[in-house]
Amino acid sequence: MLFNSVEFLVFLPAVFFLYWALQKHSLRIQNLFLIVASYFFYGWWDWRFLSLIVISSLVDYLVGIRLGVTKAPGKRKTLLVISLMVNLGFLGVFKYFNFFAENLVQAFTFMGSPIEMSRLNIILPVGISFYTFQTLSYSIDVYRGKLEPTRDPVAFFAFVSFFPQLVAGPIERATNLLPQFSRPRVFSEASSVDGLRQILWGLFKKVVIADNCAEIANATFATPGEYSGSALALGAMFFTFQIYGDFSGYSDIAIGTARLFGFNLMRNFAFPYFSRDIAEFWRRWHISLSTWFRDYLYIPLGGSVGGTGRRIRNTFIIFAVSGFWHGANWTFISWGVLNALYFLPLLLTQKNRRFTHGVAEGRRLPGLKEGLQILSTFTMTVFAWIIFRAGSLAQAGEILARIFSQSLFSPPALKVGMAVDSLGGLILLLVVVEWIQRDRQHGLDLNGRKLPAYLRWGIYYSIIILIIKFQGVQQEFIYFQF
């Protein structure tokens, strides 16, 4: 079920009113209702894959229980391995089996000893990378002693399947979200109103920005040979805003929806295109994933402790694995490695933590130096997104070659989608609003701003009109495929 669908427009208010009506009963009943609603939400795509969520939830719940009573280090490691094998095993089979099989066949063929391997003709379950990482965080934290295992299966199953962030995050930590299922929730009008504002802004980014950018980006990346370098550069620019509007829009809707039910999810985006270097970008983009890899992979590998060689190794591992998490394709791995190369000079000069404060603090506009830093980081990101979006490394090479040719200076001719100037104006509106709001949680965060009622409602209705007027062809959220 898509957030930007008629079905969800019916589903959300129905679940909302029933959920709060059950508050007079028990917390357990409320949690059971959330499980049913979440399973219905997920099963709307394909009910057969609900079994994976159930198995993953059951295994990690039981592993947590056993970890809570087992003291022997060897047995505790065995329990953790069971959790890792089940969750990563699901990923390995459904997401990566065909990738490894195809590359193994190619390797043996290259060495002159061709072999044959069967492929799995299966659909990738929606959101599998998200909920498996979420349950793994629970098992790892219990193993490390950072979290007491829960003995409430209802709360745990609700934590794993919570529908707002089930399919595309944020990837919640058990330490943050699980305790919220164990204490009564109280309806807050202020929190709900702000949640609705965040949902509205997320819909604007998805429906108006991402879906319209997708038409142009899809066309240019599908047949790059038909376009000039200037058109391909423009297509890459539109994809840059498509993936941001799409994914951060989903996160806004998820976080806002959760607030309607009395839950606080972690922030997943912090206006990343205003970053002044690539290290700051990764502190602002897909925060739940980057911090997950930091805590559960980078630090266990040694992090930044040790010699330069170890720090370089760990940096490349973390970025390559992050790329591979996105999909079973060399384009994603190469995208991760390219970001590691971007990051390397900052690491070697120990400047990777220089921008931990806000952009242009206390000023309306950035200074010349800050502006150039933002522009250069954005440009680097655009080129990285070309590799990410391309269907293959060969296609990425073709696109880059055409961009860096004389045709870059020819007028761009785009054959589909909304008029470029109209879409450019909408993107400019997005950038201006988020620049003004850059020190806040989301683009429509009006908490503390003393705006008259007519102006607030004027903003809301204006955005709704833009959504209705400029809605593009409905597209699935990009990160559903991951």
State the Cα–Cα distance between residues 207 and 329, nearest whole angstrom. Answer: 28
Tell the burial category of 456 from Cβ atoms under 10 Å away from its Cβ (0-12, 13-18, 19+): middle
Q: How many C-beta atoms surround the C-beta of residue 277 within 10 A? A: 20
CA 51, 55, 56, 57 torsion-angle sign: positive
Angle, helices 229-260 vs 189-203, to 10°: value is 160
CA 244, 245, 247, 248 torsion-angle sign: positive
State the Cα–Cα distance between residues 337 and 332, nearest whole angstrom. Answer: 9
* Contact yes or no for 132/141 (Cβ under 8 A): no
* Contact yes or no for 472/212 (Cβ under 8 A): yes
* Residue from 25, 326, 357, 442 carrying the catalytic annotation: 326
State the Cα–Cα distance between residues 10 and 78, nearest whole angstrom. Answer: 45
When computed from its CA atoms, the radius of gyration of the chain, rounded to whole angstroms, is 23
Exposure string for 43-78, b = 16+ CB within 10 A, e = fewer: eebeeebbebbeebbebbbebbbebeeeeeeeebee
30 Cβ neighbours under 8 A, 6+ residues apart = 19, 22, 23, 185
Q: Considering only CA atoms, which of 65, 81, 80 is closest in space to residue 139?
A: 80
Q: Is 326 a catalytic residue?
A: yes
Continuous segment of H or E residues that includes residue 144? helix 128-144
Angle, helices 6-21 vs 27-46, to 10°: value is 160
Q: Considering only CA atoms, which of 298, 270, 12 is closest in space to residue 163?
A: 12
Chain CA centroid to CA 361, Å? 27
302 Cβ neighbours under 8 A, 6+ residues apart = 310, 314
Name the residue with tokens 């934290």: 141
9 Cβ neighbours under 8 A, 6+ residues apart = none
Q: How many C-beta atoms surround the C-beta of residue 233 within 10 A? A: 23
- Token pair in block for residue 364: 């309306």
What's the longest Cα–Cα distance across the chain?
A: 75
Question: Could you give the residue numbers annotated as active site?
Answer: 326
